[in-house]
Structure 1
Amino acid sequence: MFKILCIFCVPASSMDVISALYGETIEVPCNNGAAMSEDPQLVKWKYDEDDGTPGAILTKGRDPEEVKIQATNSYKDRASITGDASLLIANATLDDEKTFTCMVVTSADIKEYPVNVEVHKRPLPPQIKDQATELENGKLTALGECIAQDAHPPAEVIWSKNGVQLADDGKTIIIETVDTEDPATGLSSTSSKLQYAAVKADVDSEFTCTVKHRLGPDQTSEPQTFSIHYPTERVELEVVSKGPIKEGDNVTLKCNADGNPPPTSFNFLLKDQKETVVDSDTYTLLGVTRDSTGEYKCSLGDDDNLQDAKNISVSFLDVSLDPSGMIVRTVGGSLPVMVQKNSSGEVKVSWTKDNGKLDKQPKFDNLKYSDTGLYVCQFSMAGIKQSRSFQLTVQGQPTIKSITKILSNDGQHKVLTCEAEGSPKPSVQWSINGTNEQSSYIDGKLTHKITVVPTLNQTVTCTASNELGVAIKDITLTSLNWENNDNREGDDGDDQAKLIVGIVIGLILAAAVVGLVYWVYMKKSKQGSWKTGEKESGDLRGE
């Protein structure tokens, strides 16, 4: 710093310091920007040359328009003055780092206000150049160069791994930092080179360089990762196929090696068989069987001693069901059911009939029509499911279980019901014409109804038939007029019985009456003859 010599000048205060940005406009305040106590007659801005001699920039009189540029260098086109006497310098450069003095002339005094100007420049964003293509395990390698370009003052460069700053230890980490100055601009560029001895754990590590500068904020490069080369130390055999392995499956084996770059060939030891694969780390077993169960190994293609082994277990399930397919049996007969299974593990067995779950295995000692259906036996164990089935049909010739009649609610009809069993489904015929025919067939049981209006006492026949046979059953039906006259209700079979009993009783009573009359008549006849005879006899005796 140079002192300004002025015979009539009085230093106003200690020197002020201001900071400016490179390339921006510098505003240098006069009297630190404070208002003048008196309007100056003259304001002059000057500066110190490098050799200590003063250099003039401009002057300004009382008239705002009375500004005179005195500079003959770059300030001629870059300097101007504001209304409050502040000096403006456009396009700041490092050459503007100097002391500027504001000289104020008033009627009473001459004062000078020196201001020291510092010019700062924030560096460009950092970038890592000349990066290594790969790092070798344990070998000191030039990882890259980080450059913080065009700064003033020079920037600080920091290397980090996974966010943690690296420190030069002279062995596994070496950092060389160099500052260079551009002779044209005077700006500095900081170059930092990192040499690093990588380890296997650095495979996914992120390396960054951060530039710190007084203007802030910190600037960090894009993170970089590097391929780490290291030899294979361990292999691992992996069974890629998931879940329990069962017969018929394809099983893929994979040999994983921890080396980088990975090995290009592997040996797969399949029990007593050796298979070598090149440019691949997998081998597929096609259609494994229960005999495929055992130990499998893999190793490096050039080193069988570096290997790993895994046991593979192949699950299997053999089942059979007797009977199977379409089964036809006669009602009342029997049907044995046999289940056999052979497996590598515990098997769960369940049964369904016509998709409905059964509590246990069906047993057919006395076949019924209701046993007809589709039976499915399901077998399951880890990873395996199988099923076997049979369709059972129970057949029999028709049998009529009952034939009944009831009087309709309105008392004008009779409803006849014929209940039969048989399979295939029997057809029903009546010996009387009817209406409102209804029929249902469930589990071999047939119910057939008709509505009739009987006008005569008669016997009605129900006939049930299928391809296996015929069944016939009768019922006595009385006319509605008979029942209405006798004011009797209930079953016509009962009416008929009552009618027969009544006739028999009537005949017995009639016979008794005839016998009684005959007996009285005969008695009287005998009494009359005896009296006559007696009289005659008396008459004889009297004679």
Structure 2
Amino acid sequence: MSLRTAGSVLVVFLWSVTVVLGQNGWRVTYTTQSICTLKGSTVELTCSFRYPRGKVTTTFWFTEWGTGVEPKDLGQDPEYAGRLEYHGDKKKDCTLKITDLRERDSATYKFRFITDQTRGKYYGHPGVTLSVTGLQVKVTGGHQDKTLTCITTCTLTDNPTYIWYKNGHKVKEDTSSLDSDSFSDADSYSCAVKGHEDLLSPAVYGPRNTSVSVSPSGEIVEGSSVTLTCSSDANPPVQSYTWWYKKNGGDYQSMTGPQHVFNQIQSSDTGEYYCVSQNEMGTDRSRTINMDVKYAPKNTSVSVSPSGEIVEGSSVTLTCSSDANPPVDKYTWYFQNETFLNGCGQMYNISNFRSEDSGHYHCEAWNGRGSRNSTALMIIIPGKQTSVLTAAVGIIVVVLVLILCFSGFMWFR
């Protein structure tokens, strides 16, 4: 067996025990029945043929043969366009060269020739089984005692020497496995076959560029549906995602999965969030994002100062309070359900409280998300209210007495 290479071209000549089939002088001899070679390389399927008489008019290789029709010439297949080179002749050599091999080229290839004689057609069985494989790095073991193995889907025919690369630099050869007590999460590893170093395996590496995206983007409004998605570049693919979050200054909590979904997000969900991705090669964490949930004013209320009994002539201050995000940017005051013309701030001051100021007060808080009214607060001057009540009772008594006197007078008459 000899191996010739040029760049990424792998040419395989296998001079094993030949397979000779045929009868009455018809025969096709394949130098091997099975070849396993690398994706991206070049292979030669070597064979020779003999026939008893006549002249060969047609030669071709095929992989498919439908019932009742001639097999399909690979030279007419668009899949092989520009990649087939027939190195044989029409006398005895039937060697075929296939370049830029692809995994879908894996098949059993057979040679057929046709002569100018009646029934002068023949093909060689069983043909050459071609398996095309790429290199892959398999990761086994724990985080601190991993083993990397360069694997293929079939056993390479030429029994090659393997080479290992770390971050693109050669670190070891002559072994299909790479052992280490410690692999860095930031490093990447790949393998190749000696003599065909440009046919590298895909690199394996720990998660990197881990990030969190928010959908929908833009302002987050209470009651809406919000999805946080963790994504990461990793090979092998990420095995697990872990979310860490701290709501409104509380302790960190965790959950697993690539997404964190809020069907109806609440103001209590405001806080810090980040995710950690992990595969067999290591871990990586995203930056922390701050979830700021916007909502209209809530829990709006009115407080009065000083508290307790209100004295006529005293100074009274009303304060409107409300929970809102963004903060309240406008307050409106109401007295007996009528808007104050001069009550626009968070605080409303009455410097000389009089009896006519007694009544119901409430406020309305506004921000960019909406508004909310407080409950009404009743403010009175106790002394004045008692005098009014006494006068009212006195008037009622006088009226009753007059009615009784009039009734008695009418009855006496």
Q: Give the TM-score taking structure 2 as reference length.
A: 0.38
Query: Bigger relative contact order, structure 1 or 2, given CA contacts below 8 A and separation 6+?
Result: 2
Q: Report which of the two structures shows the higher radius of gyration computed on alpha carbons.
A: 1
Q: Give the TM-score taking structure 1 as reference length.
A: 0.30
